[in-house]
Amino acid sequence: MSLTGSPRPADSNRAFGPKGADDIASTASTAPDGKPHHDEVDVIVDAWASVRPGLDTTPLEVLSRISRIARRLDQARNAVFTEHELDGWEFDVMSALRRAGEPFELSPGALVQKTLVTSGTMTNRVDGLERRGFVSRQPSPSDRRGVLVRLTPAGLRAVDAAFDALLHHERRLLAGMDDDARAHLAASLRTLLTAVES
């Protein structure tokens, strides 16, 4: 992945955005009546209830929280990639190659499918990764005119190091949940994602 050029976080908590993980966990807001809210979504839902009392705002209870979590995760992941001098799109391409197993290679078409970008965008991304020495183009043994994109040893080291750091940060985000709670949440989110994607 390429250098982002953005400044590195001052400390590990910066990977969680403007506030550290502990700050986020302890943050609470207060309503006008003095009763504490658990999070900002409660504030939003209560505000809508006060101006539109007959409106069913229950979807916000789930989807607004998912939206806010997604923004926090983007901040966390971008910070991790920046620490490893990578861009997110570079990690996406290299991790797709890494997951393919040895010899860590895929066709450009397979990479397009796995990363959900256009073929033109993928060509540019492979060019950039090749310039950095993270991937190489190899002739396809089954198609004389085709090529395969292969992860180099340098690319393998880079993607593994970034992924290890990413998992470390994301374990911290989930540290307040026990195994059963995480499994239940994963199952619920799987059900929701299946419904949304269908």
Distances (CA, A) of 144 to 30, 102, 127, 165: 67, 22, 20, 39
Residue limits of CATH 1.10.10.10 in the chain: 88-156
Mean pLDDT by groups of 10 residues along the chain of 198 residues: 34 39 44 64 91 92 92 92 95 97 95 94 96 95 87 98 95 91 95 92
Fold of 88-156: Arc Repressor Mutant, subunit A (1.10.10)
What pLDDT shows up at residue 3?
32
What pLDDT shows up at residue 33?
55
What pLDDT shows up at residue 39?
86
Half-sphere exposure at residue 164, Cβ-oriented, CA atoms within 13 angstroms: 7
Partnered with residue 151 across adjacent β-strands are 135
Nearest Cα neighbor of 104 from 134, 132, 125 is: 134
What pLDDT shows up at residue 11?
38
**AA letter at 166:** L
Integer Cα distance of 161 and 155 in angstroms? 10
**AA letter at 176:** G
Integer Cα distance of 145 and 183 in angstroms? 46
| pTM attached to this predicted model | 0.71
